[in-house]
Copies of this chain bind each other. A is one copy, B any other.
Amino acid sequence: MFRQFRFSVVLAAMLLAALVVPVFADSPDPTGGATLEANPNAGLNFSWTLMTGFLVFFMQAGFAMVEVGLSRAKNAVAVLTKNFMDGLIGGLAYWAFGFAFMFGGSALASGLSDGNAFIGLSGFLLGGDAYDVTTMELWFFQMVFAATAATIVSGSLAERTRVPAYLAYSFLVSAIIYPIYGHWVWGGGWLATLPFGAGAKDFAGSGVVHAVGGMVALVGAALVGPRIGKYDAKGKARAIPGHNLTLVVLGTFILFFGWFGFNPGSTMAATDLRISVIAVNTFLGGAAGAVAAVYYSLLKTGKIDVTLACNGALAGLVGITAGCAYVAAWASVVIGVIAAIIMIWAVGFVENKLKVDDVVGAVAVHGFGGLWGLLSVGIFADGTYGGVSGLIVGDTGQIVAQLISMVVVVAWSLLTGYAVFALLKLTMGLRATRKEELIGLDASEHGLDAYAGDIITEEAAAGTLR
């Protein structure tokens, strides 16, 4: 009890702190009149950014459905709780701390003046000068990205992680781990200004969102340990079938749909007509990934594994996320196909070599797929957008920047992820007991059954109904 309480004290303190932030700001433009006058397209670009941000928010439902479907019925409530809460807690953490750490010093909007190449230091709680329509627009779009990074980890930890510990994790990842690496790439930090190519480029977050999430998922799943029964006495991995593949496919559709917010929305401007190229590339990357995975499955086993198709699509989408604005249509197809192949390899690598039990394949899809996305920019960027040119047009500088950002994202995510999960293991405890796990987290941690029967009819039949 007290452990949970400790955490809610933090939340309460945060809210209290918000109250003392000045309500009225001096220079900012909370109504937007001045902004619109200065930029007549602000309305269009706000509309685009918010609407695509809404789609990204909806991806939370997709992650929830994929994970719950791939889990067993006895843990459905635990999975749902994690997925429902992580984005919301992460969003509050991003409001209090994360956004300031990520965009402070970027000068992208009012109230974001203080920060350095390593970390941002202004914009906390959206108070003061950050009470501005442009700052709020930026916050909203960035917050749904932070929430996505947080929820990626959930799937790898399913079915045996204590939910309160997971909730504390989601606060910490959104407040600290995600925004600091994000600052380096998107907030004007040191990776963005590397003296190679155009600096490290990651258009919509193959690295910032997916590789961070995937690598944190790797250490998280390693520290929590595999589910009971995942490995046999000889250490050989066994399949533990999920309880509802219909939800997996529904969730993947929702994620694919949301990705059209994720990637095209990352221009944060509909006046940047490259949005159409981005939408096309996003579709092609995902489609090619799914097709590659399905035909791999057919050739290898003679059967089509629909969960592999879903993960193929997701890997393709993750892979194209960094380069979607910089590459041609054909390159998106190639990137998607390769992403699917990497994902299939990585699933086996994580499960059989690293002996890490990743319930949904998050490490393979988001972690390795995200790294491939970063690399692919250095290969396939064709120089038609943003001055980013890769190997195919003879430029060798960009791939150096990309390789550096890949090394950095792996190191940062593994180290900080380890620190967070090790801390939680020591303080709150990460893992349910063997008994709790065997009867299921729903009964033990939540006191609920996701798919309850009808007690009234049973009582009526038994003659005990009053």
Interface residues of A in 202-236 (CB under 8 A from B): 227-229, 232-233
Give chain B residues whose Cβ lies under 8 Å from the Cβ of A301: 447
Q: Are B273 and A330 in contact (CB under 8 A)?
A: no
> Contacts A61-B254, A304-B81: A47 and B457 contacting too (C-beta < 8 A)?
no
How near does chain B come to A141, taking the closest CB pair, in angstroms?
A: 9
Is A418 at the interface (CB under 8 A from chain B)?
A: no
Q: What is the count of identical protomers in the complex?
A: 3
- Binary per-residue interface labels of chain A (438-454) against chain B in the complex, 1 for a CB within 8 Å, 0 otherwise: 11100001111111111
- Partner of A64 from the list B249, B287, B459 (CB cut-off 8 Å) is B249
Is A419 at the interface (CB under 8 A from chain B)?
A: no
How near does chain B come to A282, taking the closest CB pair, in angstroms?
A: 9
Q: Are B277 and A337 in contact (CB under 8 A)?
A: no
- Binary per-residue interface labels of chain A (232-258) against chain B in the complex, 1 for a CB within 8 Å, 0 otherwise: 110000001111111101101110110
Give chain B residues whose Cβ lies under 8 Å from the Cβ of A127: 328-330
Is A91 at the interface (CB under 8 A from chain B)?
A: yes
- The stretch that binds B, out of A35-43, A190-198, A366-374, is A35-43
Q: Are A330 and B43 in contact (CB under 8 A)?
A: no
- Binary per-residue interface labels of chain A (246-282) against chain B in the complex, 1 for a CB within 8 Å, 0 otherwise: 1101101110110011001000011111111101100
Give chain B residues whose Cβ lies under 8 Å from the Cβ of A274: 30-32, 133
- Partner of A454 from the list B32, B243, B260 (CB cut-off 8 Å) is B243
How near does chain B come to A381, taking the closest CB pair, in angstroms?
A: 11
Q: Are B249 and A80 in contact (CB under 8 A)?
A: yes
Is A302 at the interface (CB under 8 A from chain B)?
A: yes
Q: Are A47 and B275 in contact (CB under 8 A)?
A: yes
- Binary per-residue interface labels of chain A (20-54) against chain B in the complex, 1 for a CB within 8 Å, 0 otherwise: 01011000001111011000011111111011111
- Partner of A275 from the list B46, B328, B448, B456 (CB cut-off 8 Å) is B46
Q: Are A303 and B447 in contact (CB under 8 A)?
A: yes
Give chain B residues whose Cβ lies under 8 Å from the Cβ of A133: 273-274, 276-277
| Additional 18 contacts, C-beta under 8 A, given A4-B295, A47-B47, A74-B457 | A4-B302, A5-B299, A19-B334, A43-B48, A43-B272, A54-B257, A76-B246, A81-B304, A84-B313, A92-B333, A133-B274, A227-B456, A228-B465, A233-B466, A243-B454, A244-B246, A305-B447, A305-B448
Can you show 10 pairs from A to B with CB atoms below 8 A apart?
A5-B299, A15-B333, A23-B382, A81-B309, A85-B309, A88-B287, A95-B284, A134-B273, A240-B456, A246-B247
